[in-house]
Structure formats: C-alpha cells, structure tokens
C-alpha cells in the first residue's frame, strides 16, 4: 500500500486565493520532505525541502513568501500556495527521503494538480 | 538544481519494437533511477541502478550506467501499447532521497 499520502489530488481555485497541499508519511517518520513541481509538458524540479523543527530551504528562483512550507510533525508536511495565479498552475508532488536507506527507490505522494483560473 | 538531458525528447514506435532512451546527468550520484509517468499523473518507479553497477535487468527493462560519461540508458524490449508514457531518469545525489530529474522522453507505442 501507499506509504505517502498527498491531498488533494487535484484542485481548482480562483486567482488570489490560497491552496494548501498536505503530504503525510504513513509508515515512517520523515524529518525531511522534498517538494517538486512539474509544469505542463515539462519535467519535475525540486522546489524546496522542508525540515521538521526548522525552516524550509528553497531552490533558486522559488519565492519563499509565495510557497509556504510547514513541517508540523514527523509525519506531516504542508505546502501552501498563497495568492495563487494562473502561472502557478502545475503538478506538485512530495517525496520523503527514507532515512538510512540511500540506494532505494524514492517514495512519492500521488501528486496534486493545481489549476488556477 | 540543474537537470540532466534526455534524448530523444519523443519516440514513436510500433508494438513489438524496442525503445531506447538516453539520459545524461551532471552531478556525482549514488544511484540513477528511472520512472514512468502516465499523462501527468503520479510517478511509477521502474528500476534503480547503483553507481557501482554497470547494467541491470528487470523484466523487459534493461538499464546501463556509465559514470565516466555521466550517462544512462533505458531499453524497453518488445514494447506494448501500455508502455505509452513519459519516462524520466532521476539522479540520486549524495544527499539521500534528493533526485534531479532529466527532461524526460515521451514514448508512444502504436498498436
């Protein structure tokens, strides 16, 4: 069964509103969560890394004030897209690293398709 | 993070033919992984090859890795229409779990 649960799987929102995406690790504790973004017809790119108990780190070009990341517990990380605009429409997917297991496949959430109208 | 290159960007073949996709990466890696994605949905893990391995097989999949050239290839033999999808390589960097994805190859297999 799934070890990472991501919700919602899709959302449509109006410009200017905020959207929260949740990512839960079900079978293990995740002190870190990778958040990736995939624009239409493009590849996945790392946006940011959330860390339980400390601030998230953002990749170059990602606005930290727009994409709020909170790692509230060892099983939950959230990404909030604030004041969403159509250019934020994308596929967002989370991935918790598996502690102590370097050469194993990565876990991914189911992904969230965000459409801003 | 800088992404690697994949070629071809798109590949169209007939059922039964083999499909080969190539990937190059830029960083030092622990492993190289291949994923499939259907129509912008979630990722399906296909195969992982470690940095000290040169070739790996899994069913109809064959992966090679050349760390001196920082390149990998994925071969799908006897392709099926159900193999139609986007395929991405992902370099597993030294900080475990973090992946740098290639640009992807869109594979279309015609019945």
At B6, is the pLDDT very low, low, confident or very high (cuts 50, 70, 90)? confident
Q: Which residue of A has its CA nearest to B96?
A: A102
The single-letter DSSP state of residue A107 is P
Which among B30, B42, B99 is the nearest to A110, CB-wise? B42
Give the separation between CA B65 and CA B1, rounded to whole angstroms.
Answer: 21
CA dihedral A117, B1, B5, B11 (to 10 degrees): -30
Give the separation between CA A10 and CA B66, rounded to whole angstroms.
Answer: 38
pLDDT tens-digit readout, B40-99: 789 999 999 999 999 999 999 999 999 999 999 999 999 999 999 999 999 998 666 789
> What's the confidence (pLDDT) of residue B95?
61
Percent of chain B with pLDDT over 70: 95
Give the separation between CA A1 and CA A21, rounded to whole angstroms.
Answer: 21
> What's the confidence (pLDDT) of residue A2?
64
pLDDT tens-digit readout, A10-24: 999 999 999 999 999
Residues of A in contact with B102 (CB under 8 A): 43
Candidates A3, A4, A7, A1; CA nearest to A78 is A7
B105 has a chain A CB within 8 A of its CB: no
In B49-78, the residues whose Cβ lies within 8 Å of chain A are 50
CA of B78, closest CA in chain A: separation in Å?
25
């Amino acid at each position: 069964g799934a070890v990472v649960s991501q919700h919602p799987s899709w959302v449509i929102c109006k410009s200017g509103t905020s959207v929260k995406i949740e990512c839960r690790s079900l079978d293990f504790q995740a002190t870190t969560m990778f958040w990736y973004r995939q624009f239409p017809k493009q590849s996945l790119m790392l946006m940011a890394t959330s860390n339980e108990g400390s601030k998230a780190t953002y990749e170059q070009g990602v606005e930290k004030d727009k994409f709020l990341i909170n790692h509230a517990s060892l099983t939950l990380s959230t990404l909030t897209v604030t004041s969403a605009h159509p250019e934020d429409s994308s596929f967002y997917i989370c991935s918790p690293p598996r502690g102590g297991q370097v050469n194993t496949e990565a876990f991914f959430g189911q992904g969230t398709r965000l459409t801003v109208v | 993070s800088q992404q690697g290159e994949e070629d071809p960007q798109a590949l169209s073949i007939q059922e039964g033919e083999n499909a080969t996709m190539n990937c190059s990466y830029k960083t030092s890696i622990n492993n190289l992984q291949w994923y499939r994605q259907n129509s912008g949905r979630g990722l399906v893990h296909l195969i992982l090859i470690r940095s000290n391995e040169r070739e790996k097989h899994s069913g109809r999949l064959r992966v090679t890795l050349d760390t001196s050239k920082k390149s990998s290839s994925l071969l799908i033999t006897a392709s099926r229409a159900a193999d139609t999808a986007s395929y991405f390589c992902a370099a597993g960097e030294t900080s475990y779990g973090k992946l740098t994805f290639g640009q992807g190859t869109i594979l279309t297999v015609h019945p």
